[in-house]
Amino acid sequence: MHELSAITAVVDTVDDYLKASYKEKTKPVPNVTRVVLQIGRKSSYLAEYIYEIWPVAVNGTSLECAALETEQVEGGDFLIKEIEIEE
């Protein structure tokens, strides 16, 4: 189940991005409320496994309460399309 390593990379990427973005601000790093992933039809990732893994992978992170959405697209890409944060 290689989806676990992909979702772990998503969590790490979003966490690192938020920490870097809020490093100079006096506000704490916000929580993520929604994540949209694009999954290519030719990729080896299955959305049903990603949804299954999501709660475990985000536990204890800034994405813990984030809703997950996936979009199936042409090609073989696996991308973070959008993140939404609470301000």
User: Which pLDDT tens digit goes with each residue over 54-82?
Assistant: 999 999 998 999 999 999 999 999 999 99
* Residue 41 in this model has a pLDDT that exceeds 80: yes
Tokens of 59: 């536990």
Per-position b or e across 2-38, b if 16+ CB within 10 A of its CB: ebeebbeebbeebbeebeeeeeeeeeebeebeebebb
CA 71, CA 32: separation in Å to the nearest integer?
A: 18
- pLDDT at res. 21: 86
- Whose tokens are 């979702």? That residue is 7
Share of the chain above pLDDT 70, in %: 99
Q: Output 49 or 22, whichever has higher pLDDT.
A: 49
Residue range 3-85, CATH number: 3.30.2320.50
Contact 68, 14 (CB under 8 A): no
The average pLDDT across 11-16 equals 93
